[in-house]
Amino acid sequence: MAVAAARAAIAEAGGGVSRAELESIINNAVMRIIAALAQVGFYIDGQLLARLVKKGMSELDYRYNPVEIT
């Protein structure tokens, strides 16, 4: 799927991509991923993971049932 998307992007751009351009694209993507991980915490300890799971479950529960029952 990713290969097909890359080929489609190359075809749409009107030609091939040089090795330097491809390296630049990949480096930029990796830097964005690292920046996103840094916002969460690059290392994930047990407590951070538990908080993230609890938050995700809470958001998922609210999405399917916005009425809070206490």
pLDDT band at 69, cuts 50/70/90?
Answer: low
Q: Determine if the pTM surpasses 0.85.
A: no
Count the neighbouring beta carbons within 10 Å of the beta carbon of residue 45.
Answer: 8
* Distance of alpha carbon 35 from alpha carbon 61, whole angstroms: 28
User: Between these two residues, 56 and 63, which has the higher pLDDT value?
Assistant: 56
pLDDT of residue 1: 67
| Segment 2-45, tens digit of pLDDT | 788 877 777 777 666 788 888 888 988 988 888 887 777 666 67
Cα–Cα separations (whole angstroms), residue 68 to 40, 46, 57: 27, 28, 14
Banded pLDDT at 52 (limits 50, 70, 90): confident
